[in-house]
Structure 1
């Protein structure tokens, strides 16, 4: 996995050289599909698309894509993947030929995953987000990459956020019905905000359950209930009537254990869920994944 991160880092550096050593890349259009961010790539010479997921610590290749094109890839070591509802053991592949932003590279440590239809070729997680500042303009469906010498996120950030010790994942504080909560910043969560049942109780949501539906994690599915929060504060913005999901009574999840590091809390902060697409969709989101800095703004 360390090699995969190095190769991806080298590739991302090359992206900037392709823009005449610019410290800001050109805007690239992306597709929003059910709340997921996709852009085109080639894998083993086959046109497909990649999903960006800031909540994933691994890079994945779709099992359905491998099967559809009968690819015989170089297998590496198996890895354990912990999702919201279950833990699974997966195959990993090395020396996978990928062309992204027009640049050919080979990726190691691509973990076999279930990414839906075979047209979804792969997923990029922490290895993509940690090297640069990533700016996602959700309303206009475009993205760009910035180097850290261009933007001082310590000054620019307007959402209270930190980096998780151990995993390096960014977490942010929002308020639901006036109750502050720490959540993981997760562009791969295509639904609404997801919190644990205890936090939903503290926010007064259990008394106003509107329904329940199935939710699919990385490995399996579960049942979530949902209710509408009167207010959610996200940085300088207060948003009314936001749907919040939480596990149904008796539903086992790994929401909290996903964030545990050697049995301790993250700097004393209890992480209780995920920020999702429904909260991000109206904003330009600027994320410094590595340093745990976050800025949100409404397009002018």
Structure 2
């Protein structure tokens, strides 16, 4: 992949490192996802940062092994992109991360082979998150220390949420806007909305029919796939996009992944549903996913609450 410079006038981000900005913590990739060391209720553990996970959750194995350290408050029927099932709910889970002890509530337990804790959309809504992909580090910034309106250089919106949770009984996990965030990009000269996904290995992932409709399957990908191929959860056909504009940057030879003809989808279809609320006029229906093969080149600063994002390079 190569950069084609469009605009190198980048916003200078001034951070106060002594107040309301956490220390940088290093991360690594495991199973194609960002992973950081944490302590959960005093126990050494690992956490995955997932920009599209509908809730924060503990792995089943970790919750069962250390159940005496958590306050279990019940079982709910929970629905997300993986289906509908009964899950245990825990309150007041203490997580040591970013040099501080952070309490988490309404954490569910579900299978996770890669980490003990997954921090998803509720976590992304709490603070501005800055992910320095080239240097494999990240930190949190409070909203009073950074004006995202001044530095945002890419349009972001909530996306249509067709996998909203369903709940039986009096107990529920607070919804608190659990929708993914989509960003506007330009693919081969056409504007598209793509889900921001910090776990997707390809630069862009689309359904085969959508890619065919846009005539994107003309050029087979010729780049090095050694580090990426193992992170695909299902078989994929790989192609190359001649041009992808993200924010003020234009990239060439971007990896496009689609399912093989007749094969299992790499991304689930999103169906528009009748909804009410203040977000309905802003919600968008995504055309695909923007993933790590693109994000790895940038420092990504994102605020889910205001739906604003900045991409910068060193």
TM-score by structure 2 length? 0.74
1:145 paired residue among 117, 140, 144: 140
- How far 1:131 sits from its partner (Å)? 1.6
Are residues 242 and 90 of structure 1, via their aligned partners in 2, closer, same or farther at CA, if it must alter by over 3 Å? farther
Q: In the alignment, which residue of structure 1 is the partner of 2:13?
A: none
Q: Aligned to 2:150, what secondary structure does the other structure show?
A: helix
Are residues 180 and 116 of structure 1, via their aligned partners in 2, closer, same or farther at CA, if it must alter by over 3 Å? same
Kept in 2: contact 1:215–1:223 (CA 8 A): no
Q: In the alignment, which residue of structure 2 is the partner of 1:275?
A: 290
Are residues 64 and 236 of structure 1, via their aligned partners in 2, closer, same or farther at CA, if it must alter by over 3 Å? same
Q: In the alignment, which residue of structure 2 is the partner of 1:78?
A: 76
Structure 1: how far apart are the matches of 2:78 and 2:262? 25
Q: Which has the higher helix share?
A: 1
Q: Aligned to 1:149, what secondary structure does the other structure show?
A: helix
Indicate yes or no: 2:17 matched with 1:27: no
- How far 1:291 sits from its partner (Å)? 1.1
Q: In the alignment, which residue of structure 2 is the partner of 1:238?
A: 250
Are residues 95 and 149 of structure 1, via their aligned partners in 2, closer, same or farther at CA, if it must alter by over 3 Å? closer
Q: Aligned to 1:115, what secondary structure does the other structure show?
A: coil
- Please give the root-mean-square deviation of Cα atoms over the aligned residues, in Å: 3.1
Q: Aligned to 2:62, what secondary structure does the other structure show?
A: helix
Please give the residue correspondences for 1:62-101 in structure 2 after superposition, counting only pairs within 5 Å: 62-66=59-63, 69=65, 71=67, 74=72, 76-83=74-81, 86-95=82-91, 97-101=93-97
Per-residue CA distance 1:242-276 (angstroms, 9 max, x = gap): 1111233344656332x745379874733122211
Q: In the alignment, which residue of structure 2 is the partner of 1:8?
A: none
How many pairs were matched up?
269
Kept in 2: contact 1:133–1:147 (CA 8 A): yes
Per-residue CA distance 1:61-90 (angstroms, 9 max, x = gap): 1124345x364662632333433xx52414
Q: Which has the higher strand share?
A: 1
Q: In the alignment, which residue of structure 2 is the partner of 1:201?
A: 212
TM-score by structure 1 length? 0.77
Identify unmatched segments of 5+ residues in structure 1.
Answer: 1-18
Q: Aligned to 1:161, what secondary structure does the other structure show?
A: strand
Are residues 266 and 229 of structure 1, via their aligned partners in 2, closer, same or farther at CA, if it must alter by over 3 Å? farther
Q: Aligned to 2:143, what secondary structure does the other structure show?
A: coil
Kept in 2: contact 1:177–1:203 (CA 8 A): no
